[in-house]
Structure 1
Amino acid sequence: MIWHRLKLTVATGTAIILLIIAAGTAALLDQAERAAMLAARISLERSAQAVENALNRQLLQVHGALASLPTLFAASSITPMDPSAVDDVLRGLNFQTLAYRDLILVDSHDTILASARRRPSGQKLPFDTRTLNIGPAALVGPLRNAITGDWSLYVCRSLVAWSGITAVAEVPLPTLMELLAETGIPPGVKLQLERPDGMLVASLPHNETETGKVRPSALGTHTADGKAFVAINPVTGERSLAIVRGSLYGSLRVVLTAPLTKLLSDWKRDRDNTIAAATVGALLIAAFSLALIAALRQREKVESERSRSQKVLVNAIEAMSEGFVMWDENDRLVTCNERYRDLYRISAPFIEPGISFEELVRKAAQAGQYPEAKDDLEGLITSMLQLHHRGRGSLERLLPDGRWVLMKERRTADGGTVGTRTDITPLKTMLRELAEANERANEATAEAHRQNAALTERERRIWFLAHHDDLTRLPNRVLFRERLASALGKATAEGDKLALLYLDLDRFKDVNDTLGHPVGDALLRTVAERLSNCVNDPDRVARLGGDEFAVVSLAQNQPADAEQLSAKIIEELGQPYSILGHTISVSASIGIAVAMPESQDADALLKQADLALYQAKGKGRARFCAFEPGMDAHLRDRLAIEGDLLHALPGEQFELVYQPIYNLASERLCGFEALLRWRHPIRGFISPATFIPIAEDTRLIVDIGLWVLRRACHDACLLPDDLKIAINLSPIQLAFGDIVAAVSQALEESGLNPARLELEITETALFTNDQHNLEVLSRLKLMGVKIVLDDFGTGYSSLSHLHLFPLDKIKIDQLFVRDMTLRPESAIIVNAIAMLAFRLGMTTTAEGIETTEQWEAARRSGCTEAQGYLLGKPISIDTAVTIAAAHRCVTETVSGAT
């Protein structure tokens, strides 16, 4: 009866599953169709908005050109009645844009007075402007140009300043449609410009027969709400997705249409695949159900046969003198004899046919059948299960009455298991006595071994501490000196060349001073690990003291191999560190000295590598430098510059120059960046790239930066109030100078509005002591000062800093800006940064603008401001004041004319 119920359950379950598959497939297809339709609507609406914006830009450009004619003629001191001069002016203005083909002036009788393109005298327009309600502008067309044969729109504007004269701009429709097509219209989408009455102005692709005609079924008569809707072609019955948008001129509308069959083609393909997959799945489930029912029917027969065989087996095993037990292929008890039950008296109540082996063992262990399992019940159960599943071997177990039982298991041909249980208590007693005697002998031997090992370990520890650094576990100076001398001899014997790499961490002292020695020690341990991973043989790495490390490089191609290894080490050690809750960014500088055949002295090699290291630091850190004989002179020159820097500020040798910054949208001057220059009384001009790193090393940059801040704030007060001033801050100023007090004092002394002051910081400053810098920048932000992230993208850029730090602006590094017109990847990066900044409420400045192409690319990318030699080189404050005043006059003139 039970087998019949199981088969009925399988059949019922299969039917339910098939119904669920059918219902789920239908729901999935419906949801997918809705999603595909929604995606098509959104895509078409975005394309229509882009076309509308492009159309408005072109019409505004034409409208602006017509509106500026009176101002332009007044500036040129001519009137519309001077034909020759007027033609030249219109022709010069016409060459500056592609938005229109011709500019025309007509009188009240539609007679052409002047035009940008040469026309016969007295020629009239192809339409009557007197019938138009221009007020102040109107669109006429489409009309075919009798000369070019192209369809054109005519933008007419009544000029109040010239009574009776109308300005007309001819806009070629093919050119206009090409510009609109560049907005990225998806394939298969049809673009039309229509009048509200249904007249087709232009279309893409071009429709020569319908252009200029009024069509009753035109979609342009639909409400221009910018919402996608389904339209049906009255002739073909084809369903399309359409959208209608207006323009700045209400008489011109943008219409986009796309066939629904094309828009939903991907969905239909997915629909067919889904239906096919669901059908296959349903067939597989049905087949599985039939197979399962057949298996149940076979199982029913097997169980019947097993019942008969079990009766025969019970009679046979009861006559055995050992305990006997049998399990089927599913590890369930088939039968056992009375001797087996007698051995396991405690677990006898659980020994029932059908119980699984694991269940019986677990219940017996919990009931106390195996006394040795009291401390590790699961371990005993696991060992017995392993023996049973292997089907071979034996296992000994202690019973509660003190007897020992030997368990043996064997597999049968049908996959079952038979086991025997033998009382081995006498044998165990004899073995225990023998083991006790052997244990006493082993204990005496082990004690002797322990004493010898302790002595050996103590000697090894003493030697290790004498030759290794206790913090990093690397070889110390003593051991490294021995290994260096040995390596020099080995290199000579094997024909290799030896190079010594001497390196230390840049500004490691700043980490100790700002974050404490525990953080510094942890940083040194991490640096030692990274350095060892960079070198194939860790025995060639050593810590010489402080933050100084050394590496031996053996190769035939020196110094090329040493320089390659140095570059790898600098890159690895320059990655940011996460130390005790702090994110730290430090770099490494490396000096390289190559041993010459005639010189094999280790001390001389160390001195040469030290000089090369000093030279590398002088070149800007995070780099390597190979020793050259002339480095002694370079070292003396750097020390001289350090000494001269002490007198540069008291001697008034510094000066500030200002580079203009322009707004990309309005093309107006919006501020200046203050740049530091040093004119040495003897050396002349010294590059900031030379003296600023030295000033940061000596921390003179704190006092120099204070002077720059005060001077720039004072100079900014000479500029118009709408111009801002940008000042660069060194990470050293943030770490060691009271920059908040310095900024407050500079603003108070100069009277400068804090909103006009921008403080530029680098990404390196954010990685070093970020919590302290966050507090400092937040206090500056509360004062009203703007915070700018300079050279974004060149360091270890972290998007988390844009979220955590109070930033107002991002300056995009000139490397990306200059490559925008050459490499699409750079343009994509700049676009992404500009969009991210916009979403975060920040502005962006494109640095290094040197060509008009870069200017246009930066504007298209969405950048807010621009800076570079194309817009202006660094100038004195007097020149900056003059330029600002002149730019304001030009701006006011243009605004008034408009």
Structure 2
Amino acid sequence: MALFLLTANLLAALTTAALLDGLSPFWEIATWFAAIVAIALTVAFRRLATHHRGDSYASVRDVRNTGWDGLALALAWSAVPVLFCTHAPSGTTAGLGITLAVLMTAAAFAMAPLVLATLVFLGYLGAAMVIQLAMAGTVAAAVGIFAFTAMLMIICVSRARTLVLIRAGEIALGERNETVSLLLREFEETDADWLWETDTARRIVRASARFAYACRLDPAGIEGMPFLQVLAGPTWETGNFAAGLRTLAEKLKARESFRDLRLPVQIDGEDRWWELAASPRFGDLGEFVGFLGVASDVTEQRASADRINRMARFDTLTGLPNRLMVNETLVKTIAEADRSGGRYAFMMLDLDRFKAVNDTLGHPIGDRLLGRVSERLDQLMGEAYLCGRLGGDEFAVVVRDASDTVAIERLAQRIIESLSLPYEIDAHTLFIGASIGLAIGPRDGRTAEMLVRSADLALYRAKDAGRGVFRTYEPELHVQAEERRVLELALRTAVENGEMHLEYQPVVDAEAGQLRGFEALLRWKSPEFGTIPPSKFIPLAEDARLIAPIGDWVLRTACAEAAKWPSDIRIAVNVSANQLQNPGFLTTIASALSNAGLSPERLELEVTESVFLHEGLGVTRVLDRLLGLGVHLSLDDFGTGYSSLGYLSRTRFSSIKIDRSFIHDAAKGVREAVAIVRAVIALAESLDMATTAEGVETAAEHKMVQEFGCTMAQGYYFGRPMSVTDARALVNRRWKASAAA
């Protein structure tokens, strides 16, 4: 505004000089006019020569100098009312007053940003006019000029304040714009984000260099191209668009804002992923003028997310889908089948004898074996199947189309046959197998949870059938499972409620038939379910991890009862593999013997060959420590399990029990059974072990085992399992008979 102020001063000076012409000496008017011009030019050129300070603050000295400029102009113009208006006629005085008022108004407008200079100019000149008018006796005019001057000063301060606020807003906006520019420049340097803009026809306008570079197109050539065509690339001609591009087209057509919209694009033959966000733009009259948005290349982020997703849904050891993905696929399969009215199926696989590989050869070999198993499973899968690993040695197969039940059963059989073939790993030939439970929906379950439960129940049935087979779910399996659940609840409190008791079956000398001991047999009579056979509740107790507390009770009860018998009568107690794995088992044995006052050699623990499958858990060491206590060990059901002679060489058993099935078959003259019984007896004699024939029920069988040379015999022929009262009576009769002899 410096030139505007200069012009106002020159015009006002010329007008004043013209009004004073002929009223004052020429030299006075010329001198005053020259002073006005000199001061106005000096002030104007000083303003124009001042360096623009941008957003910095002015110093106090700079502000004070502007005040001197205002004072200089005020002194020069105050000469008009003080010197020239004294002898001027009233008409001339009025004209001079109007000229000064216009000048003051122009100064208030032009010099408002320099508020100190403006206030000094207005205040001094206004005071001079008020004093002159008051001395001339025109009080009303003096009051009017005073009010006019005060009003101009107030307007000046108000306008100055407004200008400061406007400038502060401009500074803040400039700072934000600069920040945005810096951010965009940073994004462009990292090839991350870029801006894009379209017109009403969805054509690209004002394409940025960064956007053109991202599209690998020339900035001039991309201008005016349809935005969707640029993103579609080669698929623009075929119309085979990605789902994300169709969503984008719908958003643009509906003129809706959107964000985080990801879609695949092809840049120079390379597949990339972009993320878009945009909002519609509107003109001053509210008309739609296009879209303004930002785009990001998120290819690396998506690849990282895909890797994380794969880690979350695929098993790291085998590469097969894990439990999460299997469940998601099953849920999706059920939903699709419900819409189409189709059938689906679920197989649950469990490897047989895999734990033995882990325990004997170690987990590294077991992990490699799982890898080989997964390879064989993957080779058997078609497009309608998904095979995954649930964890450990459990696998599952989701069948999307189960319309052909026979084909599914053939697949289950092929899986069993394939997994049962030998594996060659690190010079080891490994043999395992598989058991499979099959459930077909919606008959066996309309939800993923129900179908998995049905397949799991069918798998249990396959294991009970001897493993290496598949079984299909049947409704009674659920009834059996519910029965197991109820029995398990009752079993947990059976000992505390006094529902358990022991029965004792005599063990006699095979040659003389004299009583040598008893085998303690556990029985359970539930008030709710009646008498439950051991074949039913013992496996349940092992599965529910209740065998340890129940076995402890059996040991303590049997030892306490045997302590009341003559010192040559032994007590035999069956021990499971789970008990031997218990770190406190040795303490339990020692405590039971000590509390009962029973000598260790009178206690015989019967174990089956299955306990040696847990050798990696230190079972052999536990057996050796039991022998160190003086307890006798008996190998039960020899010949029905794995029958490895290595077991006999690693543990000093006192006796071997021959299973009743061999005794019965041998009594019938079955050649193989006879050979087995003779071989076992000969083996035991060579190892200085006793033999016990189980299941002797007739005199012929007794005579046979005598001829074969068995040491002891046990069976209904000598006595059924009896109550503790009957066992005591039998012991007393035997003792009396011995005393009489």
Q: What is the TM-score when the length of structure 1 is the normalising length? A: 0.42
698, 709, 715: which one aligns with 1:862? 709
**Amino acid across the alignment from 2:380:** D
Deviation of the 1:633 alpha carbon:
3.6
- SS of the aligned residue for 1:648 comes to coil
Q: 1:557 maps to which residue?
A: 406
Equivalent pairs: percent with the same residue?
39
* Residues 727-736 or 882-891, more deviating: 882-891
Tell me the TM-score normalised to structure 2 length: 0.50
Question: Given the alignment, which residue of 663, 666, 669 partners 2:512?
Answer: 666
Retained in 2: the 8 A contact 1:817–1:849? yes
1:871 aligns with 2:739: no
Deviation by residue 1:617-672 (Cα, 9 ceiling, x = unmatched) = 79998876432234444333222222212211111111000111122122222111
Report the equivalent of 2:657: 811
SS at match of 2:388: strand
Which residue in the other structure is 1:719 paired with?
Answer: 565
Q: Structure 1 pair 656/597, CA: closer, same or farther in 2 (3 Å)?
A: closer
CA distance in 2, matches of 1:579, 1:719: 56
Aligned equivalents of 1:557, 1:490: Cα separation in 2: 22
Residue aligning to 1:828: 675
3-state secondary structure, aligned to 1:676: strand
Counterpart position of 1:680: 526
Cross-structure match for 1:640: 486
- 1:853 corresponds to which of 693, 696, 700: 700
Q: Distance in 2 between matches of 1:684 and 1:603?
A: 33
In structure 2, what residue type is equivalent to 1:864? Answer: T
What code does the residue aligned with 2:677 have? V
The alpha carbon displacement at 1:871 in A equals: 2.0
| AA partner of residue 527 (structure 2) | P
Q: Distance in 2 between matches of 1:871 and 1:531?
A: 54
Name the CA distance, whole Å, in 2 between partners of 1:816 and 1:533.
39
Distance 2:711 2:370 in 1: 41
Instruction: Please report how far the alpha carbon of residue 785 of structure 1 lies from its aligned counterpart in structure 2 after TM superposition.
Output: 0.6
Per-residue deviation, 1:777: 1.0
Q: Distance in 2 between matches of 1:598 and 1:808?
A: 51
Gaps of 5+ in 1: 1-454
- Higher mean C-alpha displacement, 723-732 vs 458-467: 458-467
For residues 594 and 679 of structure 2, what CA distance do their matches in structure 1 show? 39
8 Å contact from structure 1 (residues 827, 861) kept in 2: no
Deviations 1:23-50 (A, max 9, x none): xxxxxxxxxxxxxxxxxxxxxxxxxxxx
Matched, 1:844 2:691: yes
Change (3 A) 1:707 1:593: same
CA contact (8 A) 2:377 2:387 kept: no
Unaligned runs of 5+ residues in structure 2 are 1-299
Letter of the aligned partner of 2:716 in structure 1?
Y
Residue-pair matches, total: 440
**Which secondary structure state, in structure 2, belongs to the residue aligned with residue 557 of structure 1?**
helix
Deviation at 1:722, TM superposition (A): 1.6
Q: For the residues of structure 1 that align with 2:738 and 2:425, how far apart are their CA atoms?
A: 52
Is the CA contact 2:454–2:478 (under 8 Å) kept in the aligned structure 1? no
Does 2:732 align with 1:732? no
Give 1:519 shift. 4.9
Q: Equivalent residue for 1:751?
A: 597
Distance 2:692 2:734 in 1: 20
What is the aligned partner in structure 2 of residue 629 from structure 1?
475
Greater share of residues in helix:
2
Structure 2 counterpart of 1:501, one-letter code:
M
Q: What is the letter of the counterpart of residue 557 of structure 1?
A: V
**Which residue of structure 2 lines up, in the alignment, with residue 608 of structure 1?**
454
Indicate the SS of the match to 2:637.
strand
User: Is 1:537 the equivalent of 2:380?
Assistant: yes
Check conservation: 2:354, 2:366, Cα contact below 8 A.
no
SS at 1:652's partner residue?
coil
Distance 1:839 1:732 in 2: 31
CA distance in 1, matches of 2:715, 2:423: 31
1:852 alignment partner AA: A
Whole-angstrom CA distance in 2 between matches of 1:843 and 1:578: 40
Q: 1:661, 1:881 → 2: CA distance? A: 14
Q: Distance in 2 between matches of 1:532 and 1:772?
A: 33
Which letter maps to 1:627? Y
Taking the aligned partners of 1:708 and 1:598, their CA distance within structure 2 comes to: 41
The alignment partner of 2:581 has SS state of: helix
Instruction: Compare 535-544 and 583-592 and name the one that shifted more.
Output: 583-592
SS where residue 736 of structure 1 aligns? coil
Deviation of the 1:762 alpha carbon: 1.4
Give 2:642's aligned amino acid: Y
**Aligned partner of 1:654: which letter?**
M
**Residues 827-859 of structure 1: per-residue CA shift (max 9 Å, x gap):** 111111111111111111111222333323323
Q: Is the 8 A contact 1:656 1:677 kept in 2?
A: yes
Q: Match of 2:565, SS?
A: coil
List per-residue Cα deviations over 1:207-252 (Å, max 9, x = no partner): xxxxxxxxxxxxxxxxxxxxxxxxxxxxxxxxxxxxxxxxxxxxxx
> Could you tell me whether the CA contact under 8 Å between 1:585 and 1:764 is conserved in 2?
no
Question: CA-atom RMSD, angstroms?
Answer: 5.0
Shift of 1:794: 1.7
C-alpha displacement at 1:533, in angstroms?
Answer: 4.5
Map of 2:6 onto structure 1: none
Q: Is the CA contact (8 Å cut-off) linking 1:467 and 1:479 kept in structure 2? A: yes
Letter in 2 for 1:875: M
Which range moved further: 725-734 or 463-472? 463-472
- Quote how far apart the aligned CAs of 1:885 are: 2.9
1:675, CA displacement in angstroms? Answer: 0.5
Counterparts in 2 of 1:85-104, with a 5 A limit? none
Change (3 A) 1:488 1:643: closer
| Residue aligned with 1:848, SS | coil
| Aligned mates of 2:577, 2:423 — CA distance in 1 | 16
Instruction: Say if 1:520 and 1:640 are closer, same or farther in 2 by CA, change over 3 A.
Output: farther
